[in-house]
Amino acid sequence: MGESPAKNHYAQLNQGEENEMDIFGYKTQSCRKALCITGYILSCGALWLLFHWKPEWNVWLNCIRCSLEEADIVLLRTTDEFRIYSRETVTWISASAFIKSGSEYPATAEEDSIFNKAIMKPSFQVKTIQVQKIRYIWNICAKQFQKVGVLEDHHTCSAIHAKFGSGLTCDEQNIRRVICGPNTIDVPVIPIWKLLIKEVLNPFYVFQLFSVCLWFAEDYMEYATAIIIMSLLSVFLTVYDLRQQSIKLHSLVESHNNVTVTVCRNKEDLQELESHHLVPGDMLVLKQGKTLLPCDAILISGQCIVNESMLTGESIPVTKTHLPQADNFKPWRTYCAEDYKKHVLFCGTEVIQTKADDRGVVKAVVLRTGFNTAKGDLVRSILYPKPMNFKLYRDALRFLMCLIAFAAIGMIYTICVFALNGEEAGEVVKKALDVITIAVPPALPAALTTGIIYTQQRLKKKGIFCISPQRINMCGQLNLICFDKTGTLTEDGLDLWGLLPSERNCFQDIHSFPEDRNLPWGPVFRAMAVCHSLIVWEGKIQGDPLDVKMFETTNWVIDDSNGYQTEGSTHATVVRPGPKATIAPVEGVTILHQFPFSSSLQRMSVIAQEIGGDQQVFTKGAPEIVAMLCRAETVPSNFESKLLLYTAQGFRVIGLAWKSLQTGKLPTALSREEVESDLTFLGLLIMENRLKKETKPVLEELSAACIRSVMATGDNIQTAITVAKNAGMISPAHRVILVEANKVPGSVSASITWKPLEENQTEDCRNLVSIKHKKQTERRINLALGHGQYHFAMSGKSYQIVAQHFRHLLPKLLLNGTVFARMSPGQKSSLVEEFQKLDYFVGMCGDGANDCGALKVAHAGISLSEQEASVASPFTSRIPSIACVPELIREGRAALVTSFCMFKYMALYSTIQYLGVLLLYWQLNSFGNYQFLFQDLAITTVIGMTMSFTGAYPKLVPYRPPSQLISPPLLLSVVLNILFSLSMQIFGFVVVQEQPWYSKTDLHRGCLSMKNHMENSSYSLGLHGVRDGAHEQTDNGYRSYENTTVWLLSTINCLIVALVFSKGKPFRQAIYTNYVFILVLIGQLGICLFLMFADIDDLYSKMDLVCTPTTWRISMVVMLAVTLAVSFLVEEAVIENRPLWLLLKKTFRYHSKSHYKRLQHVLEQDSDWPPLNDTLFSDSVTITVEGSVGGHSNPTFDSSEDSL
């Protein structure tokens, strides 16, 4: 084979996509497989378990490398920072049953189809793999695995109409069906036994099983049984939760898997079939009435009104138009650019109305099936979530490794001590293994999970639901929040504030709403009555809130009496004057054709006709764009200053235009370019979008807590800046600098300009500003810049150009970037990712599917919508208010601190017990079973369950809790407390041996020395005899003065560290508010003191304790009191002393490793930053950032949010 295997051994799957993976080819070798099976048997399944956890080791040991073409096993590795491996088996599909005998290739519509390139001759088999529910087939020509279940991207618009316009033949459909698989989003409800096995094979439970087996071998039945019960309870709760999620997800997609559809067969009649038989290329016929779409499809004739709320979260009907029959060589998606979604019907959405054109029925070509669809993509993002990279979880593993290393030292010590004293080998092994279960607490994961569950319940009570509990701790580290504007910071609804009409290139007096009289009949009135995409659905006018408000102002109505035309006729919307409308000289206006709103074009247009009159065009959109489409002589000279006047006050401004249409063509035959040209400017529609009442207080609270707030919106930049100022995101004393980036015409380079907002005024305004005021302004700007009190604002277009041409400037701009306007969904996702690259912990709060991608990639995505689209968001707030953001941060901080407390406590508890046992091992002694049981169950388990009850502190302080376990304060706290505990135990262990009443053999001498021998000698001797007898019967070798001293000291020491480590302010409420925990500690301390001072024979015998003089018991209490005082003092005066640690950082010149902090420090020293009123040009070389700037976005969404 030469170099072929090595050369073709590796490839990339889904290159450039979010789920990109490396793929490696391997071939199973029989001798290696036989050796591994032998290993499984000899290791009693341990090797198999290791391979289950590490699938790459399984492949490397069982298989040999080969080319992907020869492979029967493939190893997949994610290309992200986690590099997670998975293993898939190559399978073969036979297509021979559907291929006519003697034919060279299958009867498919195109010779260059992937289906022809994948079928091997003469066996007619196809090589496939299935990765995360997506099927890939081997392309023989390209020698790579390619995705199937999608229509190839290379088709042009005309090719789609020509090749698929008549439908597939039965043979073509059958071949595609067997290769692509069924068109279902199959999420079966996972059987309970499978969930149980998967959960039980978790390394944590395997370690617990090992511990339990060891404890049973040592007759430590009670705690082993308790751990089994706790583990089973934990497993059953987890399995129940997973089962419920599985059922919920199954019901979410089940309805789309069994839909009856009508398809058009080539050279045959229409045919009805089950939707799971659909394949890419099939021709769907959409009939009248509501239809649930079982696949993604391209509309090729007619028009549809679709309800996409199930995917976008916005219950606004969307108009879909057919794919143009453009005769060019560009692939259809490239030709349609960002507007391609306007022609695509997405799986899971509902067609609520169809409008046939002059070609008859409404038709659509199947584009994607199964998990390749928009709905399938959403479901896969839930089934295969992106893993999190959080320092706490990485440090937790290191922490456990340290404990294991600690245990290994103890094992060596144990083996040496017992072996040198001639103990049996079996006993030595048991004692040595026991050290591991003491040093590594099996209850640690359960205790940590308990804290997260309690936090989840507290959040649920506050109306915040969490589908990703492990992200709760991350919320405690958030230091930057991105907010959407409309519906998040501002109210959802819009109020029509006024209309600024224009006549003969001059603005007229403003017409205010609703106080003024009704608008007079004219082009402006007609534009407001017809330039929209509203429909009547379920008796109500439905559509974009802006359109609804504008149309309602006219007091006209939509006449839906002719809503359902016979097939073959054109369905047109008619609007007529309502009962309260101004008298109009027409019976009504018919909307003949729509060019729907496009986020890339930032406008929409309609062709309308007065009943019995001429055809007219009406356009509305972003004022700057509409003005460019109008004849220059119709646009007022003060257009820019008027626009700035209203946008600077935070209004949403819409431009209106029209023209009379003189053409012999049918409206459907006209191109958008023909329609939207030589328009007459009509004026500006001014709409008010009010701030929510809670917006300003919440942003002020975040600012006071040193948490940055950033706005990412689709609205006009001036409006966004004004809203940011009104909301308190930008302080009145701070300056705003507009960053504008443009591509240089006729060149591949670009330019970037920095302008202070004051410099962005119009000429008229500038003339009014005195020279003195200008100097004051400049002085204020320079002063603000000197203190870093400035904010950058930029548009989505500028952001894209900066990312491509000025990549080195992007981090600097993001450091003070506050307003990002006209941002597309992909750009919002990219913005979040860029902030994350600067080491910010980013939260995203939004309410629509245009934020879906950003919600998904953020460290904590908070959706204010409860629609299915937000199902991929980790957090969902029932109350559509940003008040949930500080609430989530508070709870996150409390949960994070609780996790640290729990780690510290568990580390100290296991170390205290570990040190006590090793001390007693020196005398070949140990704790008794009931002593272990009391410490493990009655003390630690109860503390672990109640310590997390402490709630979050109500105020957000201006700093965050530490994000890592391996931090100096935390390590110092653990180490010092270990030393205090070790000192106390050694002191007690040594000093007890120096006492005059101490004896290794006479375990009752301590108590007898206290008694009056003269008065009670006979009774005492009798008692001594009884006790000796009892001792002979019940002593199991554990009882000694050292055992009693060390056990009592270590047990109460566990309570001391629980109290000391239970932090309150500034992240959690004071410890006394956790009544349950306080009562538990008091109860446990009472029991411990009772055991210390009570001299009850049966109890002491059961607990392996011996009686000591009262003076020694008091001495132990003093030792414990000193330990408590020292531990508490050190924790408060050193560990929790924030000013001390800041001073140490300053003294040792410690600088934060966070990228944004380092950059901040550099820019503070740079007197030339930011370069005001300066223009910079890029080099001719550009950076391709398709992947990074694109981000992840909901495939159904086309950003219409605020884009006007």
Catalytic residues: 484
Q: How far is CA 1061 from the centre of its chain?
A: 31
Count of beta carbons in the 10 Å neighbourhood of residue 625: 15
For residue 360, the surrounding DSSP H or E stretch is: none
CA-to-CA distance for 250 and 245, rounded, in angstroms? 8
What is the three-class DSSP state of 1174? strand
SS3 724: helix
Element (H, E) at 682: strand 680-688
Strands (E), 110-210: 125-131, 134-139, 144-147
Cα–Cα distance, 747 to 1179 (Å, whole number)? 10
Cβ–Cβ under 8 Å, residues 176 and 183: no
Q: Which of 684, 293, 384, 306 is nearest to 524 (CA)?
A: 684
Question: How many C-beta atoms surround the C-beta of residue 1196 within 10 A?
Answer: 27
Residue 377 and residue 461: Cα distance in Å, rounded? Answer: 31
Helix, strand, coil: what percent of the chain each, to 5? 45, 20, 35
Query: Do the beta carbons of residue 558 and residue 534 sit within 8 Å?
Result: yes
- Going by C-alpha positions, the residue among 574, 599, 594, 607 that lies closest to residue 679 is 607
1032 touches 1039 (CB < 8 A): no
Total residues found in the chain within this entry = 1204
Which residues, in sequence order, are CB contacts of 413 under 8 Å at separation 6+? 918, 921
Q: What is the DSSP letter of 343?
A: G
446 SS3 class: helix
Structure-token pair, residue 21: 């993976």
Considering only CA atoms, which of 299, 296, 307, 342 is closest in space to residue 594?
342
8 Å CB contact between 531 and 656 = yes
Helix segments in 844-928, DSSP class H? 852-857, 884-921
Q: Rounded to whole angstroms, how far apart are CA atoms 516 and 182? A: 61
Under 8 Å CB-to-CB from 372, ≥6 apart: which residues? Answer: 134, 147, 149, 150, 296
What secondary structure, in 3-state letters, does 395-419 show? HHHHHHHHHHHHHHHHHHHHHHHHH
**Residue 1009 is encoded by which pair of tokens?**
């020395």
Pairing mode, if any, of strands 615-621 and 603-610? Answer: antiparallel
φ, ψ (nearest 5 deg) of residue 752: -135, 135
Give the rounded distance of the alpha carbon of 444 from its chain centre.
Answer: 26
